Structure 1
Amino acid sequence: MIAGLYRAGDSPLHRTGAGTKLLALVLFGTLLLSVASPIVAAGGLLLVLGLYLAAGFGARIFLAQLRPVALVLVLLALAQLWLSTPSEALLLVLRFAALVLAAGLVTLTTRTADLVASLERRLSPLARLGLDVGKISLAVSLAIRFIPAVGQIAAEVREAQIARGRRPSPVSLVVPLIVRLLKMADEIAEAIDARS
């Protein structure tokens, strides 16, 4: 199963309820995606950086969250430069980085059990429609944790290749990364089935 990403702390962000953080994440993402301004996206990224500092996480943890998705950010920027304008490429990278870091901050400051419990409470009215709220809340909380976990897996694959004397490249990284992600998806599916 996914290793715990939570880091204990006593900051105001750690003490904030899981439901409040999830709602803030949704609102932040909606605002970030609805405003097509690189300046606003840069402001959002700076806000997230400030929240990392307020939570007691230094630049090392901030960069550790961003480093695994750096290759994806570069590829997205190059694709956007090819298909669109430099301004659009910058906007996409800033948005993506801010969202990844915001989701990472939620997982760093919130226990998974608290995320699942909060989602179950918020989604409980859907149980009347015959939906399995427990499974839905578990799937959503795992999806929130998925981005930082993908980055962690990519870093592990890259380190393993370096340890074997191979020079990592995007092509040699993709296959083992996909295999590990599929294995993780199976484990997640088993966890969801075991919960029912």
Structure 2
Amino acid sequence: MLTGLDIEGDTPLHRAPARAKLVGLFVAAVGLFLVSSPFLLGAAAIVAAGLYASTGIAPREAIRRVRFVLITVLLVAAANYLFHSAADALAVLFRLSALVLLAAAVTATTTISAFMDEITLMLRPLERFGLVRAADVSLAVGLVLRFAPEILARYADIREAHRARGLPVRPLGVLVPLVILTLRDADTIALAIDARGFRR
């Protein structure tokens, strides 16, 4: 069973405080959307790729983690090329790619518990006004980070099972059992959370 998206390591990014990484990611995201030059955004994408590679993650695993998101980025860039210009398409491609790679680097070097702790602390002021429940939000984020790779792995298992049986791999034939298994796990997790009194 997968344990999460973070990987063990002793790189500078691993040693950096979780809060500093989250704030840095937010600042970088704002900065990327304020810049429109494809050259500067291309340089930012190269830096982000280098930072992601510096986490020590295996190349094949690194590509697997961001593959689907980057394909979506390519589609968005293609749409911009068709309806706007090549410069706009390159800007979108480099901007979103840099953001995806930076987020992947932060996720790979930050434990789920650290994410949950920081989210709880950041939402405490809103909790005082009765707007949110900080612990519930952090728990939801932690569950997403914990089980996202497992859902992807289960999708791959179902697809391979179809191929092993000689069945055509159709999206509906894969997604239906995936949704059923995921909902079943969600019920089990909800019961476990309530049994342990994590939510008030």
Q: What's the TM-score, normalizing by structure 2? A: 0.74
What is the aligned partner in structure 2 of residue 136 from structure 1? 137
What one-letter code is carried by the residue in structure 2 that aligns with 1:135? D
With over 3 angstroms needed to count, the CA separation of the structure-2 counterparts of 1:133 and 1:8, relative to structure 1, is same
Q: Deviations over 1:87-128 (max 9, x none)?
A: 212222222222222211112111101110112122222221
Alpha-carbon RMSD? 3.6
What is the aligned partner in structure 1 of residue 73 from structure 2? 73
What is the aligned partner in structure 2 of residue 35 from structure 1? 35
What is the aligned partner in structure 2 of residue 16 from structure 1? 16
Q: Shift in Å at residue 52 of structure 1? A: 2.3
State the SS of the aligned residue for 1:117: helix
- Give the Cα separation in 2 of the matches to 1:81 and 1:150: 35
Segments of structure 2 that go 5 or more residues without pairing to the other structure are none
Q: Shift in Å at residue 177 of structure 1? A: 5.0
Q: What's the TM-score, normalizing by structure 1? A: 0.75
Contact 1:45 1:98 in 2 (8 A): yes
Contact 2:52 2:104 in 1 (8 A): no
Segments of structure 1 that go 5 or more residues without pairing to the other structure are none
With over 3 angstroms needed to count, the CA separation of the structure-2 counterparts of 1:91 and 1:166, relative to structure 1, is farther
What is the aligned partner in structure 2 of residue 102 from structure 1? 102
What is the aligned partner in structure 2 of residue 91 from structure 1? 91
What one-letter code is carried by the residue in structure 2 that aligns with 1:132? R
With over 3 angstroms needed to count, the CA separation of the structure-2 counterparts of 1:35 and 1:158, relative to structure 1, is farther
What is the aligned partner in structure 1 of residue 186 from structure 2? 187
Contact 2:159 2:174 in 1 (8 A): no
Q: Deviations over 1:108-162 (max 9, x none)?
A: 111101110112122222221013111233345566x49x749946972665565
Matched residues, number: 191
